[in-house]
Amino acid sequence: MTDINTATLRDLSLSTETTTVLDALAAIETRLPEMPDDLERYARLFDRLPPLLDLRDRALVHARQYARFLALAEADPSALEQRVDTGNALAVLAHASEIAMLLLPAISPEDRVARAMLSRERDEQYRSGRGVHATELMMRALQRASPSDIIGLTRDGRVPPEHQETAARFRGEVHGHALEGASTAPGSYLLEDALSLEAWFKRPPDLAALLNEAKTHLGSVDAWSEPDEVGPYWYGTTRGALVLAYAKLCRVGLWPARSSDDLVAKLDTERLISERNRDPDHMRALVEIALGVGRRIARQGPPFITALSGVEL
């Protein structure tokens, strides 16, 4: 529960419960079933991807909690050092949810409305100069090759009457979001979970291992892309493996480098996506966005690093 009377970070009523923290990109892999047939396995993953509105829930919750963190830190900057990793964790979680929302396909009618509303929201934000990332990158990330990904609003840009509830949930006006004084959305975390958030952020994933896993998935995509005979699982299999690969590449980007191995993994990730021009461009743009987020966090200084052999990256 959020305490609206909290004045500074020192005044937070911290939960002592141990909460397992999982970002939206890492959660994608948990939907990959254990099956002996890889083709069917990745196809099942594609069928089990989360609704985009669930990702929007998490993105809104974490963005609001991060804004709350900044406001409380401004009220008492002396408390910032002790709780800085709470903010870092919330930043990674918020960006992971939004990146996942742009990475995953819009399958249901609700997905298509949510995707269209997000595209319009980001287009207006960046055209007005309020963007967080490079405008060119965000415009690439918003582009989709499939017409089904952009259908959702009426010709004049309105939400269809039958999807007003979807629109209300997208805006955070109905249950599903952590409003002040309300319970959090599933899979999302509050400032009061600071101890769990900080513990999670201090145990980052192995970025080199994530990159290698992504390369394995991409190798499978390449092997399956030109089959002698298209089987019943082909489309879902290739799409599922591609989504999982790029989710891992985005995670490499989002986490700040703490070692030279991390920096090498990030450089290799950047090189990899520049070479894979056959892959959907919006996915490649999302990895570039994630790399930018990781770099910004790393500029806070130790324990993060931004230079390799004295060369700033």
| Structural contact between residues 21 and 187, judged by C-beta atoms closer than 8 angstroms | no
Q: Are residues 65 and 196 in the same domain?
A: yes
Q: Pairing mode, if any, of strands 307-308 and 311-312?
A: antiparallel
Residue 119: Cβ within 10 Å count? 20
User: So what's the pLDDT on residue 5?
Assistant: 61
Q: Is 305 helix (H, G, I), strand (E, B) or coil?
A: coil
How is residue 133 written in tokens?
Answer: 């990332």
In a domain, 173, yes or no: yes
User: So what's the pLDDT on residue 149?
Assistant: 43
In a domain, 58, yes or no: yes
Q: Are residues 284 and 160 in the same domain?
A: no
Residue with tokens 């899979």: 187
Report how far residue 250's alpha carbon sits from residue 104's, in angstroms, rounded to the nearest whole number.
13
Question: Over the Cα atoms of the chain, what is R_g?
Answer: 20
Q: Are residues 137 and 241 in the same domain?
A: no
| Structural contact between residues 89 and 201, judged by C-beta atoms closer than 8 angstroms | yes
Beta strands in the chain (DSSP E): 307-308, 311-312
In a domain, 78, yes or no: yes
> Domain boundary residue among 144, 166, 201?
201
Q: Are residues 104 and 183 in the same domain?
A: yes
Q: Are residues 193 and 101 in the same domain?
A: yes
Report how far residue 239's alpha carbon sits from residue 247's, in angstroms, rounded to the nearest whole number.
12
How is residue 175 written in tokens?
Answer: 């249950």
Q: Are residues 183 and 131 in the same domain?
A: yes
In a domain, 42, yes or no: no
User: So what's the pLDDT on residue 156?
Assistant: 57
Q: Are residues 175 and 59 in the same domain?
A: yes
Number of domains in the chain: 2
Under-70 pLDDT residues of the chain: 1-5, 144-157, 174-186, 227-231, 310-313
In a domain, 67, yes or no: yes
Report how far residue 280's alpha carbon sits from residue 288's, in angstroms, rounded to the nearest whole number.
13
Report how far residue 266's alpha carbon sits from residue 253's, in angstroms, rounded to the nearest whole number.
6
Range of the domain at 235: 207-312
177: which strand partners? 175
Q: Is 175 helix (H, G, I), strand (E, B) or coil?
A: strand
Q: Are residues 197 and 223 in the same domain?
A: no
Q: Are residues 91 and 185 in the same domain?
A: yes
User: So what's the pLDDT on residue 304?
Assistant: 96
> Domain boundary residue among 201, 222, 252?
201
User: So what's the pLDDT on residue 87?
Assistant: 96
Q: Are residues 195 and 215 in the same domain?
A: no
Report how far residue 219's alpha carbon sits from residue 223's, in angstroms, rounded to the nearest whole number.
6
In a domain, 45, yes or no: no
> Domain boundary residue among 162, 178, 201?
201
Q: Are residues 244 and 183 in the same domain?
A: no
> In 3D, which of 33, 69, 27 has the Cα closest to residue 51?
27
Q: Are residues 159 and 230 in the same domain?
A: no
Report how far residue 72's alpha carbon sits from residue 70's, in angstroms, rounded to the nearest whole number.
6
User: So what's the pLDDT on residue 145?
Assistant: 41
In a domain, 82, yes or no: yes
In a domain, 111, yes or no: yes
